[in-house]
Structure 1
Amino acid sequence: MKAIILLGTLKQEGLSNTEVLSEFLAAHFQKQQVDCSIIKLVDHRILAGTFSDMGQGDEWPEILQQLLSVDIIVLATPIWWNNQSSEIQRVIERLDELHDEVLADKKSRLEGKVAGIVITGDSDGAQHVIANLSNFFNAIGLALPPYATLSVLWEGQKKGAKTSRAELMKKYEEDYAETAEKMVRQMLRFVPDK
């Protein structure tokens, strides 16, 4: 069983709340013997566009091949102005060609795969992001099970906070371990038998 977390942090360097929460969730996948990798999108050259391959050194085709080879896909995003990050929006735009295939009555290449959502922020907005991403998952054939979201809205994650990695992990472990375990169990339940 394999999972990928597409990490939509905007931070190329320094501490990222969303990256730490993604690592926290990845550890819960590994406890269930799920091979989980994290792709930090900002570290890759993903060109703007709505096709699977935009040429010119575009790294999206390699990432797409990884998505097509796993059972579970999780989008992890901070909330910026009540929306998902621009990195996650770029993923949605780049997967548009797969949606075009569905509109042309072809089977989705993502059908049978299970989705999840990770969100960090310091104030409300998670429901809006979950609604956006859920609608997108539905349109491209990904199954989002009940309880397959992990949202941490906490002032310790606000922009400019001096919260350490250890403090973040302590918060996640103390307050969100059960949620993460339930999320992983739910996603595993919905992966079709091969």
Structure 2
Amino acid sequence: MALGEKQQQICDTCETDFSDLRAVIFNATLKPPEQASHTDTLSDVVAEIFATQSVSVKRHRLSQYRLAPGVYPDMTEHGWEHDDWPRLSPDVFEADIVILGTPIWLGEKSSLAQAFIEKLYAHSGQTNDDGQYAFYGKVGGCVVTGNEDGIKHVAAGVLYSMSHVGLTIPPQADCGWIGEAGPGPSYGDELDDGSRAGFDNEFTQKNTTFMAFNLLHAARMLKDNGGYPACGNVADDWGEGQKPGWPNPEYR
């Protein structure tokens, strides 16, 4: 069980109904699928909080797939022989909450995390039924693990990218574990006293709980209100000249 006593109490006393929400968690660890991942272990906490609220959760480890370079939804149409993104993207479109988990390497998110962000960007030309960008109405968050500084830096890049392509970023939409900077235990490692690194760290567990519930609350509000009003944010209006007081942009 990944949850502590305080976390379980919060989950048990929450009165909001989140049971119709759907979440998808992508793990951008560089480890192959058969190896244990510390990013998975911290993501387990988020997934378990969601489970206590009857939220449907799907999970994918990106190292299990081949994401072709490029920023089109299906790169097999642009010269690559294989691209697994068309198999994964439906889970993004069906989800209310999208979470990216990544380790820190050289102070940055992993290469697979960057590839995932580029795949989100591949849909930047698509729109929803209201003519808004395709990810409007969805909520984004990130989980960061490692043994070196950089949680806030990595989270800033991931969350900005998610926001830029249309996902909503609520307050405290990230959580992470780095322990002491430098070589040392990763999240979930067993220590000499029999405890597991990070599991009893109140700062990490508090931020993870805050993140999980803020994602749920934001998704709940957006779903209940049908997303964002389609006013002032409809992409087609710019091409059709329906923006009062503004001339059509000239390309130079």
Q: Is the shorter-chain TM-score for this pair beyond 0.5, marking a shared fold?
A: yes
Answer whether contact 1:121 1:157 (CA < 8 A) is retained. Answer: no
The 1:77/1:155 distance shift into structure 2, 3 A limit, reads same
Deviations 1:88-147 (A, max 9, x none): 100111222222447xxx521111000111000112111211111122112111011111
TM-score scaled to structure 1, two decimals?
Answer: 0.87
Deviations 1:41-80 (A, max 9, x none): 0001211111100123321012111100010000100011
1:1-194 correspondence to structure 2 within 5 Å: 1-12=21-32, 13-55=34-76, 56-101=81-126, 107-155=132-180, 158=183, 165=188, 167=190, 170-175=196-201, 176-191=204-219, 192=222, 193=224, 194=226
Aligned-pair Cα RMSD in Å: 2.3
Which residue does 2:13 correspond to in 1? none
> Unmatched 5+ residue regions in structure 2?
1-20, 227-252
The 1:112/1:164 distance shift into structure 2, 3 A limit, reads closer
Equivalenced residues, count: 189
Taking only the aligned residue pairs, the percentage that are identical comes to: 31
| AA aligned opposite 2:91 | Q
The 1:170/1:68 distance shift into structure 2, 3 A limit, reads same
Larger proportion of helix:
1
Q: Work out which structure has the larger RCO, using CA pairs closer than 8 Å and 6 or more positions apart in sequence.
A: 1
Which entry has the higher C-alpha Rg, 1 or 2? 2
> Unmatched 5+ residue regions in structure 1?
none
TM-score scaled to structure 2, two decimals?
Answer: 0.68
State the SS of the aligned residue for 1:134: helix
Answer whether contact 2:74 2:86 (CA < 8 A) is retained. Answer: yes
Tell me how far apart the structure 2 counterparts of residues 188 and 4 of structure 1 sit (CA, whole Å). Answer: 12
